Amino acid sequence: MGKIEVMSENLANKIAAGEVVERCMNVVKELVENSIDAKSSEIKINLVDSGVKEITVIDDGIGMDREDAVLAFSRHATSKIKSLEDLFYVDSLGFRGEALPSIAAVSLVELKTCNGSVGTTVIIDGGEIKETKSSDLKKGTRITVKNLFYNTPVRLKYLRNLYTELANICEYVNKMALSFPSIRFILTNNGKVLLNTDGSGNLLKVIGNVYGMDITKKMIPIECSNDDYEINGYISYPECARSSKSNINILVNGRVIKNTEINRIILDAYYMHIPDGKIPIVVLNINVDPILIDVNVHPTKMDIKFSKMDTLKELLLSSIKDKLDTTNLMPSVGTYYKVDEETVIDNNNYSFETLSLDDKEEINDNENMIETDKENNISVNNSINDIKEEYHHSIENEDDNRIKKMYPIGAIDATYIVAQNEDGMYLIDQHAADERINYEYYLERLSNHDNKTIDLLVPIKIEMTNKEFIILKEHFDLLLDMGFVIEEFGINTIVIRSHPYWLPANKAEDCIKKIIDIIISSEDFDSKKFIDRVAAGVACKASVRAHEVISISDMESLLEKLRYTKNPFNCAHGRPTIISYSNYELAKMFKRIKD
């Protein structure tokens, strides 16, 4: 008798569950996606002990009749695709027909569903249907999953702790709420509400539900398209950057995905706007003809392939860079407030030039000025789209510099310049500001290749390890292209006899060592990034330091040069150069204006 036997369907489902259902989040994902495909307008996710004990998903979708309710738990049973051709034009979130039988194989499941005319209850234990009966006629579906992995204790053992499981579920549901703002999502754990959106279709409101109003006020709208892709959503100010990559929310035709290449494109667009290791908050929905993507890469369907990645990269990179380059990115202390029922103003941009403090207090006393902050979410939510549209429009149409002229009046700790103008007070990091100025200067010099050099009276000798020397020797051409004259000088040693004229003479050796360090430490030699890193490294070495005393005239010169840079808001390493305090906010801090 042969040794090969066909597995039972129950055993095959338990094995498939290892791919489809790794943790509680996967169960929530599959059930929520089914609810969305069922055209639901409200989805409730109720957890007990982070979903380990119980997960219940309730929707108001189209529901199922009795036959479909039973057949849904058969492997590869699906209503989403009928033929091979359908696989290349998938427009639903689920389609493989593996999720429900895989979940049912490793848990206790109760399904209640109604299509408006027939109500059905199906009870399944470990993949075996125990009971099928009639139920109430409330349209929609309610599915409860209890004791996940109770019959596969090895998998149960490797579930993360309850906090980790809950965090993963929250992250996923947040992304789905951002993906489908027209659907109301309610997430609870042990009766505590963790997320509650209103399903109004306003993406900015959902961002407020997920990230809070402070972040919502600092989101920049994005909308762009080419022949293949349409992109819309929001990107954050650089100051909102965080440490976790989970804050990049990429949605393709409403499907939450994880794609390292798209993440890299977004980080490239933010290059020099945020420090290394920081991640911006991004919510972008990419709409594309399903024929141009492949979602059938992994059972979780969170990784997809694009057939025209080059055109997507160009569109995404240029659109984000253009927005960042035309938006006032200066971090500021302030909130939004109302002047009257029709106008909402960002007080960081509102000019009090024509009002005395007595005038402002009179305005406040007459209750024509109402602060709008977290305690008044309705006002913020209703007006925030108008605020952002008006604010960004005004910035993008500026013909003058991106920041107004500032007048220095002193410095704090010989590090932070204190300046003022008619709009308020500014604190400027003197090193960061000088670094930005120098970076753009050196970037221009490196890009021009005029090869003017300065001969050194005393050559600079630099010793290295053998590994460093080998790497540097392989890239001697990079130094020669910049205008360096270098020679080998004994074992693992070089001498520099000439250097480009633009290197600061008093810090030439430090700058040369920095350039060599960049060459040795570079993992790849993308020419643009390499030039950027060299310009940033030299700029840092050449700039005025923190705690270095400079005169008022030097401060004036520094601030005026900063105004004419392409990006006056960040140094070459992404740190902020300026923080502003509006006249209104200063008056409020000193109680010159009543709250």
Number of Cβ within a 10 Å radius of residue 174: 24
pLDDT in tens, the chain (595 residues): 555 655 555 555 544 444 557 788 889 998 998 899 889 999 999 999 999 899 999 999 999 888 888 888 776 555 554 444 544 444 556 444 567 888 888 889 999 999 888 899 999 987 788 889 988 878 999 999 998 887 777 666 667 688 888 998 999 999 999 989 999 999 999 999 999 999 999 999 999 999 988 899 899 999 999 999 999 999 999 989 988 888 999 988 878 888 889 999 999 999 888 888 889 999 999 998 888 887 655 455 556 778 888 999 999 999 999 999 888 888 877 543 333 333 333 333 333 333 333 433 433 433 333 333 333 333 333 333 443 343 333 334 444 567 899 999 999 999 999 999 999 999 999 999 999 999 999 999 988 877 788 999 899 999 988 888 988 988 888 888 888 999 998 888 999 999 998 998 888 999 999 999 998 887 777 788 888 989 999 999 999 999 999 999 999 999 999 999 999 999 998 899 999 999 988 998 888 887 5
SS in 3 state form for 252-268? ECCEEECCHHHHHHHHH
Closest of 97, 94, 87, 86 to residue 61, by C-alpha: 94
Residues in Cβ contact with 251 at an 8 Å cutoff, skipping those fewer than 6 apart = 175, 178, 179, 233, 257, 283, 284, 285, 286
Nearest CA to 176 out of 343, 33, 26 is that of 33
Using alpha carbons only, give the angle 403, 315, 228 rounded to the nearest 5 degrees. Answer: 150
Q: Give the whole-angstrom CA distance, residue 110 versus residue 295.
A: 29
Query: What's the alpha-carbon Rg for the chain, to the nearest Å?
Result: 30
Question: Whole-model pTM?
Answer: 0.71
Phi, psi dihedral angles at 174 (to 5 degrees): -55, -45
Closest CA to 174 of 32, 297, 379: 32
Distance CA 106, CA 550 (A): 70
- Predicted pLDDT of residue 356: 38
Question: Which pLDDT score, from 0 to 100, does residue 340 have?
Answer: 34
Which positions ≥6 away from 550 have C-beta within 8 Å?
A: 411, 414, 430, 544, 558
Asked whether 372 and 380 are in contact (CB, 8 A), the reply is yes
Angstrom distance (rounded) from CA 7 to CA 228: 44
9-196 CATH, one of 3.30.70.360, 3.30.70.20, 3.30.565.10, 3.30.60.50: 3.30.565.10
**Helix (H), strand (E) at residue 521:** helix 508-521
Residue 243 is predicted with a pLDDT of: 84
| CA end-to-end span of the chain | 87
Interhelix angle 203-211/377-396, nearest 10 degrees: 110
CA distances from 334 to 39, 372, 384, 587 (A): 41, 11, 15, 11
CATH number of the 218-325 domain: 3.30.230.10
Which tokens belong to 107?
Answer: 């848990």
Domain ranges of the chain: 9-196, 218-325, 332-400+584-589
Among 518, 508, 474, 473, smallest CA distance to 492 is for 473
Residue 36: closest CA among 79, 92, 115, 95: 92
- What token pair was written down for 522? 């570079």
**Amino acid, single-letter form, for residue 491:** I
What would the two tokens of residue 290 be? 């399903």
Q: Which H or E run includes 494?
A: strand 493-500
Which SS3 state, helix, strand or coil, does residue 129 take? strand
Residue 134 neighbours by CB under 8 Å, 6+ apart: 118, 119, 120, 121
- In the numeric block, which tokens belong to residue 122? 């199906």
317 in Cβ contact with 324 (< 8 Å): no
Cα–Cα distance between 185 and 197 in angstroms, integer? Answer: 5
**Nearest residue to 240 (alpha-carbon basis) of 274, 285, 263:** 274
